Amino acid sequence: MELLDKLNWRYAAKAMNGEKVSEEKIANIIEAARLAPTSSGLQPFEIIVVKNQAIKEAIKPVAWNQSMITDCSHLLVFAAWDTYTEDRINKMFDLTNEVRGFKNEGWENYRQMLLGSYPQQDAEENFNHAAKQAYIAFSAAIIAAAYEGVDSTPIEGFDPVEVDKILGLREKGLRSCVLLPIGYRDTEKDWLVNLQKVRKSTEDLVTVIE
Ligand SMILES: Cc1cc2nc3c(=O)[nH]c(=O)nc-3n(C[C@H](O)[C@H](O)[C@H](O)COP(=O)(O)O)c2cc1C
């Protein structure tokens, strides 16, 4: 199957060669993230696309000096809402009504249910929930990059507090949760490129209940 071939080709590149990825491919990767499902459809995150080399250079030391940060073409920063507010929830429900062109009682009741729960919860708990949704989009982006024949490296090895400062995220009610440099593998410099992919067996992963 073509997709599985591409997922086998994909690996977490440890070195990139600085080659630029076309804006068309980047747009397709971001579109896959935009289309990802999220809890209640709230999409409680934003994606910051860093093309600016100086900003990448500033992020590198707070990301364990991982070379992919500066040798990638585009650095995607997935930043989740710092909490759920009434305004944020209402915006997404209003958007649904606007796009679909009608109001639905069940949907409006669901809005009220969410308004009665999320905004009253602890901000940290809400951020953790929002971050989980960001990871779904992050995963879609990784798969889309492979589909486009582009390398990417999922990166949690960074200091989110420092990245938030560099990108001014807290002022926007956002907190960085995961990074995705996108670019092309440097086959000369990457120690991982020729090593076999290691995964536990399907039997160890899956339990089938008949
Ligand atoms: C959420 C997440 C965070 C990761 N963080 C890093 C990282 O900071 N640096 C790195 O080199 N690899 C990182 N990885 C890559 C994993 O180590 C890698 O995906 C895993 O070992 C499987 O190998 P493969 O992706 O090459 O198939 C991360 C992967 C995920 C999913």
In a domain, 43, yes or no: yes
Ligand 1 in reach of 145 Cβ (< 6 A):
no
91 is in which domain, residue-wise? 86-120
pLDDT score recorded for residue 77: 99
| 121 CA → ligand 1 middle, Å | 31
Among 66, 101, 120, identify where a domain stops.
120
In a domain, 210, yes or no: no
CATH of the domain at 197: 3.40.109.10
**12 and 111 co-located in one domain:** no
CA-13 nearest atom, ligand 1:
26
**156 and 52 co-located in one domain:** yes
pLDDT score recorded for residue 1: 60
| 123 CA → ligand 1 middle, Å | 28
Ligand 1 in reach of 139 Cβ (< 6 A):
no
Per-residue pLDDT tens digits of the chain, which is 210 residues long: 699 999 999 999 999 999 999 999 999 999 999 999 999 999 999 999 999 999 999 999 999 999 999 999 999 999 999 999 999 999 999 999 999 999 999 999 999 999 999 999 999 999 999 999 999 999 999 999 999 999 999 999 999 999 999 999 999 999 999 999 999 999 999 999 999 999 999 999 999 999
**47 and 69 co-located in one domain:** yes
**110 and 172 co-located in one domain:** no
**61 and 148 co-located in one domain:** yes
Give the mutation target among 152, 156, 199 for probing the ligand 1 site: most ligand atoms within 8 A of CB. 156
In a domain, 171, yes or no: yes
Residue with CA closest to ligand 1 atom 19? 12
In a domain, 94, yes or no: yes
Instruction: Assign residue 64 a region (left: φ > 0; alpha: ψ between -120 and 50; beta: otherwise).
Output: left
Ligand 1 in reach of 78 Cβ (< 6 A):
no
Ligand 1 in reach of 14 Cβ (< 6 A):
yes
**17 and 42 co-located in one domain:** yes
**195 and 97 co-located in one domain:** no
d(CA 205, CA 200): 7
Ligand 1 in reach of 12 Cβ (< 6 A):
yes
Ligand 1 in reach of 155 Cβ (< 6 A):
yes
**16 and 66 co-located in one domain:** yes
pLDDT score recorded for residue 114: 98
In a domain, 46, yes or no: yes
Tens digit of pLDDT for each residue in 90-133?
999 999 999 999 999 999 999 999 999 999 999 999 999 999 99
**110 and 54 co-located in one domain:** no
pLDDT score recorded for residue 204: 98
Predicted TM-score (pTM) of the model is: 0.97
**106 and 140 co-located in one domain:** no
**102 and 27 co-located in one domain:** no
Domain count, the chain: 2
d(CA 90, CA 42): 10
Among 120, 142, 171, identify where a domain stops.
120
In a domain, 209, yes or no: no
**9 and 106 co-located in one domain:** no
Percent over 90 (pLDDT), the chain: 100
pLDDT score recorded for residue 176: 98
